[in-house]
Copies of this chain bind each other. A is one copy, B any other.
Amino acid sequence: MLQALDLSTAYVDFDNDCPLFHDLPQADLNRLAEMSRLRVLRAGQNICEQSSPSGRVFNIVSGSAVIERISSAGRRQILAFVFPGDFAGLSNSAYFEYGIRSLTDVSAYEFPRHKLVALSEQSAGLKDNIKNIRDLVLALTFDQVFLLGQKRAHERLCFFFLHMLERLPGARPESIKLPMSRQDIADYLGLTTETVSRSVAKLKRDGLIVSPTPQTISIRDMDSVRELADIS
Protein backbone atom coordinates (compact mmCIF):
# COMPACT_ATOMS: atom_id res chain seq x y z
CA MET A 1 0.00 0.00 0.00
CA LEU A 2 2.99 2.33 0.16
CA GLN A 3 2.66 2.81 -3.56
CA ALA A 4 -0.60 4.57 -2.98
CA LEU A 5 1.12 7.22 -0.94
CA ASP A 6 3.97 7.87 -3.33
CA LEU A 7 3.44 11.48 -4.39
CA SER A 8 6.14 11.54 -7.02
CA THR A 9 4.43 8.97 -9.19
CA ALA A 10 1.05 10.53 -8.59
CA TYR A 11 1.86 13.67 -10.56
CA VAL A 12 2.65 11.63 -13.61
CA ASP A 13 -1.01 10.88 -13.88
CA PHE A 14 -1.77 14.26 -15.34
CA ASP A 15 -0.36 12.91 -18.57
CA ASN A 16 -2.19 9.64 -18.32
CA ASP A 17 -4.93 8.54 -20.58
CA CYS A 18 -7.62 8.94 -17.99
CA PRO A 19 -11.07 10.19 -18.95
CA LEU A 20 -10.72 13.66 -17.48
CA PHE A 21 -7.32 14.43 -18.98
CA HIS A 22 -7.74 12.59 -22.24
CA ASP A 23 -6.35 14.46 -25.25
CA LEU A 24 -6.10 17.80 -23.48
CA PRO A 25 -3.49 20.36 -24.60
CA GLN A 26 -0.67 20.98 -22.18
CA ALA A 27 -2.03 24.44 -21.34
CA ASP A 28 -5.22 22.93 -19.96
CA LEU A 29 -3.29 20.30 -18.07
CA ASN A 30 -1.21 23.01 -16.46
CA ARG A 31 -4.24 24.97 -15.37
CA LEU A 32 -5.82 21.80 -14.01
CA ALA A 33 -2.64 21.12 -12.09
CA GLU A 34 -2.72 24.62 -10.64
CA MET A 35 -6.22 24.35 -9.29
CA SER A 36 -5.81 20.81 -7.96
CA ARG A 37 -4.78 19.54 -4.59
CA LEU A 38 -3.55 16.00 -4.01
CA ARG A 39 -5.30 14.29 -1.14
CA VAL A 40 -4.00 11.13 0.44
CA LEU A 41 -6.27 8.97 2.57
CA ARG A 42 -6.05 5.77 4.54
CA ALA A 43 -8.44 2.90 3.92
CA GLY A 44 -11.93 3.41 5.27
CA GLN A 45 -11.99 7.20 5.32
CA ASN A 46 -14.64 9.50 3.90
CA ILE A 47 -13.41 11.44 0.90
CA CYS A 48 -16.61 13.42 1.01
CA GLU A 49 -19.66 13.07 3.19
CA GLN A 50 -23.16 12.43 1.93
CA SER A 51 -25.26 15.63 2.20
CA SER A 52 -22.22 17.87 2.57
CA PRO A 53 -21.84 20.83 0.18
CA SER A 54 -20.76 19.48 -3.17
CA GLY A 55 -18.04 22.02 -3.86
CA ARG A 56 -15.29 19.58 -4.80
CA VAL A 57 -14.76 16.88 -7.38
CA PHE A 58 -12.18 14.11 -7.39
CA ASN A 59 -9.96 12.24 -9.75
CA ILE A 60 -8.69 8.98 -8.30
CA VAL A 61 -4.96 8.46 -8.77
CA SER A 62 -4.38 5.26 -6.84
CA GLY A 63 -6.42 2.89 -4.72
CA SER A 64 -10.12 2.07 -4.76
CA ALA A 65 -13.16 3.81 -3.35
CA VAL A 66 -16.93 3.45 -3.29
CA ILE A 67 -19.74 5.85 -3.96
CA GLU A 68 -22.42 4.99 -1.45
CA ARG A 69 -25.78 6.15 -0.21
CA ILE A 70 -26.99 5.48 3.30
CA SER A 71 -30.65 6.06 4.11
CA SER A 72 -32.11 7.47 7.27
CA ALA A 73 -33.03 3.88 8.18
CA GLY A 74 -29.33 2.97 7.96
CA ARG A 75 -29.50 0.88 4.81
CA ARG A 76 -26.48 1.18 2.54
CA GLN A 77 -26.40 0.97 -1.22
CA ILE A 78 -23.17 1.23 -3.15
CA LEU A 79 -23.80 3.15 -6.35
CA ALA A 80 -20.38 2.55 -7.88
CA PHE A 81 -16.84 1.44 -7.30
CA VAL A 82 -14.18 3.89 -8.45
CA PHE A 83 -10.65 3.06 -9.51
CA PRO A 84 -7.54 4.94 -10.68
CA GLY A 85 -8.42 7.27 -13.54
CA ASP A 86 -12.06 7.46 -12.49
CA PHE A 87 -13.73 10.72 -11.74
CA ALA A 88 -16.17 11.19 -8.88
CA GLY A 89 -18.26 13.89 -7.31
CA LEU A 90 -19.73 15.38 -10.47
CA SER A 91 -22.97 16.14 -8.73
CA ASN A 92 -24.75 19.24 -9.85
CA SER A 93 -26.95 19.68 -6.86
CA ALA A 94 -25.70 21.84 -4.02
CA TYR A 95 -25.16 18.85 -1.75
CA PHE A 96 -23.71 15.44 -2.45
CA GLU A 97 -26.54 12.94 -2.75
CA TYR A 98 -23.96 10.25 -1.90
CA GLY A 99 -20.73 9.80 0.03
CA ILE A 100 -17.35 8.73 -1.28
CA ARG A 101 -15.31 6.41 0.92
CA SER A 102 -11.91 4.82 0.44
CA LEU A 103 -11.67 1.03 0.40
CA THR A 104 -7.89 0.97 0.32
CA ASP A 105 -5.36 3.72 0.83
CA VAL A 106 -6.27 6.27 -1.80
CA SER A 107 -4.67 9.29 -3.41
CA ALA A 108 -6.87 11.60 -5.41
CA TYR A 109 -6.75 15.01 -7.00
CA GLU A 110 -9.32 17.36 -5.59
CA PHE A 111 -10.63 20.20 -7.74
CA PRO A 112 -12.87 23.06 -6.67
CA ARG A 113 -15.98 22.46 -8.69
CA HIS A 114 -16.55 26.09 -9.70
CA LYS A 115 -12.99 26.38 -10.99
CA LEU A 116 -13.27 23.19 -12.99
CA VAL A 117 -16.57 24.34 -14.45
CA ALA A 118 -15.08 27.73 -15.30
CA LEU A 119 -12.14 26.12 -17.08
CA SER A 120 -14.43 23.78 -18.95
CA GLU A 121 -16.21 26.83 -20.36
CA GLN A 122 -12.95 27.80 -22.01
CA SER A 123 -11.68 24.38 -22.96
CA ALA A 124 -13.84 22.45 -25.40
CA GLY A 125 -11.74 19.34 -24.81
CA LEU A 126 -12.26 19.43 -21.08
CA LYS A 127 -15.96 20.03 -21.49
CA ASP A 128 -16.22 17.04 -23.81
CA ASN A 129 -14.32 14.88 -21.38
CA ILE A 130 -16.63 15.83 -18.53
CA LYS A 131 -19.66 15.16 -20.68
CA ASN A 132 -18.29 11.76 -21.66
CA ILE A 133 -17.71 10.91 -18.03
CA ARG A 134 -21.28 11.84 -17.16
CA ASP A 135 -22.56 9.75 -20.05
CA LEU A 136 -20.56 6.75 -18.89
CA VAL A 137 -21.85 7.12 -15.34
CA LEU A 138 -25.43 7.22 -16.58
CA ALA A 139 -24.92 4.19 -18.81
CA LEU A 140 -23.36 2.22 -15.96
CA THR A 141 -26.20 3.24 -13.64
CA PHE A 142 -28.79 2.04 -16.16
CA ASP A 143 -26.97 -1.29 -16.23
CA GLN A 144 -27.19 -1.45 -12.48
CA VAL A 145 -30.90 -0.68 -12.48
CA PHE A 146 -31.44 -3.61 -14.83
CA LEU A 147 -29.22 -5.78 -12.68
CA LEU A 148 -31.06 -4.98 -9.45
CA GLY A 149 -34.51 -5.13 -10.97
CA GLN A 150 -34.21 -8.31 -13.02
CA LYS A 151 -31.35 -10.60 -12.05
CA ARG A 152 -30.95 -13.36 -9.49
CA ALA A 153 -28.11 -13.56 -7.02
CA HIS A 154 -25.70 -15.72 -9.03
CA GLU A 155 -26.48 -13.75 -12.18
CA ARG A 156 -25.64 -10.54 -10.35
CA LEU A 157 -22.32 -12.04 -9.34
CA CYS A 158 -21.48 -12.98 -12.92
CA PHE A 159 -22.33 -9.48 -14.07
CA PHE A 160 -20.22 -8.08 -11.28
CA PHE A 161 -17.17 -10.14 -12.24
CA LEU A 162 -17.40 -9.06 -15.86
CA HIS A 163 -17.90 -5.48 -14.75
CA MET A 164 -14.78 -5.66 -12.60
CA LEU A 165 -12.92 -7.26 -15.46
CA GLU A 166 -13.64 -4.18 -17.55
CA ARG A 167 -13.15 -1.48 -14.96
CA LEU A 168 -10.60 -2.73 -12.47
CA PRO A 169 -7.12 -1.84 -13.71
CA GLY A 170 -4.98 -4.93 -14.17
CA ALA A 171 -7.83 -7.42 -14.00
CA ARG A 172 -7.60 -10.42 -16.35
CA PRO A 173 -10.10 -13.26 -16.78
CA GLU A 174 -7.65 -15.65 -15.10
CA SER A 175 -7.07 -13.30 -12.19
CA ILE A 176 -9.39 -10.66 -10.80
CA LYS A 177 -8.09 -9.24 -7.54
CA LEU A 178 -11.03 -7.74 -5.72
CA PRO A 179 -10.20 -4.77 -3.49
CA MET A 180 -13.59 -4.81 -1.77
CA SER A 181 -15.09 -6.96 1.00
CA ARG A 182 -18.06 -9.30 0.72
CA GLN A 183 -20.12 -6.68 2.52
CA ASP A 184 -19.23 -4.12 -0.15
CA ILE A 185 -20.15 -6.52 -2.94
CA ALA A 186 -23.41 -7.31 -1.16
CA ASP A 187 -24.28 -3.63 -0.74
CA TYR A 188 -23.50 -3.07 -4.40
CA LEU A 189 -25.60 -5.97 -5.64
CA GLY A 190 -28.49 -5.52 -3.23
CA LEU A 191 -27.76 -8.82 -1.42
CA THR A 192 -26.37 -9.99 1.91
CA THR A 193 -22.81 -11.19 2.54
CA GLU A 194 -24.18 -14.68 3.13
CA THR A 195 -25.93 -14.76 -0.23
CA VAL A 196 -22.79 -13.46 -1.94
CA SER A 197 -20.78 -16.26 -0.32
CA ARG A 198 -23.31 -18.89 -1.28
CA SER A 199 -23.57 -17.64 -4.84
CA VAL A 200 -19.80 -17.67 -5.24
CA ALA A 201 -19.78 -21.18 -3.83
CA LYS A 202 -22.41 -22.22 -6.35
CA LEU A 203 -20.44 -20.75 -9.27
CA LYS A 204 -17.35 -22.61 -8.03
CA ARG A 205 -19.30 -25.82 -7.64
CA ASP A 206 -20.64 -25.48 -11.18
CA GLY A 207 -17.12 -24.94 -12.51
CA LEU A 208 -17.68 -21.43 -13.85
CA ILE A 209 -15.05 -19.82 -11.65
CA VAL A 210 -12.17 -20.67 -9.36
CA SER A 211 -11.45 -18.70 -6.22
CA PRO A 212 -8.25 -19.68 -4.39
CA THR A 213 -8.75 -16.85 -1.90
CA PRO A 214 -11.88 -14.82 -1.20
CA GLN A 215 -10.30 -11.81 -2.95
CA THR A 216 -9.19 -13.67 -6.06
CA ILE A 217 -11.54 -14.72 -8.83
CA SER A 218 -10.56 -16.63 -11.93
CA ILE A 219 -13.11 -17.14 -14.66
CA ARG A 220 -13.00 -20.65 -16.09
CA ASP A 221 -16.08 -20.77 -18.28
CA MET A 222 -16.42 -17.34 -19.82
CA ASP A 223 -19.31 -18.28 -22.08
CA SER A 224 -21.47 -19.45 -19.19
CA VAL A 225 -20.54 -16.43 -17.08
CA ARG A 226 -21.46 -14.11 -19.95
CA GLU A 227 -24.74 -15.89 -20.48
CA LEU A 228 -25.69 -15.65 -16.82
CA ALA A 229 -24.62 -12.01 -16.73
CA ASP A 230 -27.04 -11.52 -19.63
CA ILE A 231 -25.37 -8.42 -21.02
CA SER A 232 -28.14 -6.87 -23.04
User: A-side interface residues toward B, CB under 8 Å?
Assistant: 69-73, 75-77, 79, 91-93, 97-98, 131-132, 134-135, 137-139, 141-142, 144-146, 148-150, 187-190, 230, 232
Contacts and interface: CB of A to CB of B under 8 A. Distances in A.
* This chain's copy number in the assembly: 2
Nearest to A189: B149
Contacts of A141: 138, 141-142, 145
24 contacts: A69-B142, A69-B146, A69-B232, A70-B232, A71-B146, A72-B232, A75-B150, A76-B150, A77-B146, A77-B149, A79-B142, A92-B131, A92-B132, A93-B139, A97-B142, A98-B142, A134-B134, A134-B138, A141-B142, A145-B145, A145-B148, A148-B148, A149-B189, A150-B190
Nearest to A148: B148
